[in-house]
Amino acid sequence: MNTDGMTEDEINARHAEKMAKKKAVRDRMLAGKTIEKGLLIVHTGKGKGKSTAAFGMVLRSIGHGFRTGVVQFVKGSWDTGERHVLERFPDLVTIAAMGEGFTWETQDRERDIAAARAAWEAAKAMIRDPSYRLVLLDELNIVLRYDYLPVDEVVAFLRDEKPADTHVIVTGRNAKDELIEIADLVTEMTMIKHPFRDGVKAQAGIEF
């Protein structure tokens, strides 16, 4: 907007006119959005923030009084800040921390597969339970990447058996194409800079 030679009142009036037009367009757009449904949400990519954003949705959910479930497929042994917070709401949040760490930590494929299977069974039970409004499957993409669970099985369940009004969030880098295909909302976190590359270790309150 070129404001050369305009008075402050003229600038303000032009701004108000421009914003009024934007609001009218926005209102027309929102008027056509009438569907309410449970979403399948995928957070993936190499950048930081996949689980962080998902736990933000968990906090929103419990803020509205919705019962919420969390299944951690990898970080089960981590002493995370989010778990300490959510455990203060036992009537609204169920946390199943079932992972045993990343595969390079356990170095035992059969053990990893067994842990992934147990976590998946817990996840299915939560998703089937109509009392849960939102279920977070944290780092499920990791176990799918290593083929610890059959992707076809996971996709079929989320596509065909997820209740229509239940939200499910899946996190982890390298999301499978089959999962992305059936998802309603997919966000890819892109890494531009990360302090880890400069020798900064994972820190409480930032990474966990």
- From first to last of its 208 residues, the chain has per-residue pLDDT tens of 667 788 998 888 999 999 999 998 998 888 888 889 999 999 999 999 999 999 999 999 999 999 999 999 987 666 788 888 999 999 999 999 887 655 555 667 888 899 999 999 999 999 999 999 999 999 999 999 999 999 999 999 999 999 999 999 999 999 999 999 999 999 999 999 988 788 888 888 888 8
Per-residue pLDDT, 91? 95
- Give me the residue label for tokens 């909302």: 185
Report how far residue 188's alpha carbon sits from residue 45's, in angstroms, rounded to the nearest whole number. 5
Strands (E) in 98-206, as ranges, are: 134-138, 167-171, 185-188
Report how far residue 94's alpha carbon sits from residue 113's, in angstroms, rounded to the nearest whole number. 23
Per-residue pLDDT, 44? 98
For residue 17, give every residue at least 6 positions away whose Cβ sits within 8 Å of its Cβ, in sequence order, or none.
none
Q: How far is CA 188 from CA 51, 104, 191, in A?
A: 12, 24, 10
Q: What's the token pair of residue 79?
A: 């002493």
User: Which class for 24: exposed (0-12), middle (13-18), buried (19 or more C-beta within 10 A)?
Assistant: exposed
116 and 143 in contact (C-beta within 8 Å)?
yes
Closest CA to 206 of 51, 42, 68: 51
Per-residue pLDDT, 107? 67
Q: How many CB atoms lie within 10 A of CB 57?
A: 17
Q: Half-sphere exposure of residue 115, counting CA atoms within 13 Å on the CB side?
A: 27
Closest CA to 72 of 188, 172, 165, 191: 172
Per-residue pLDDT, 76? 67
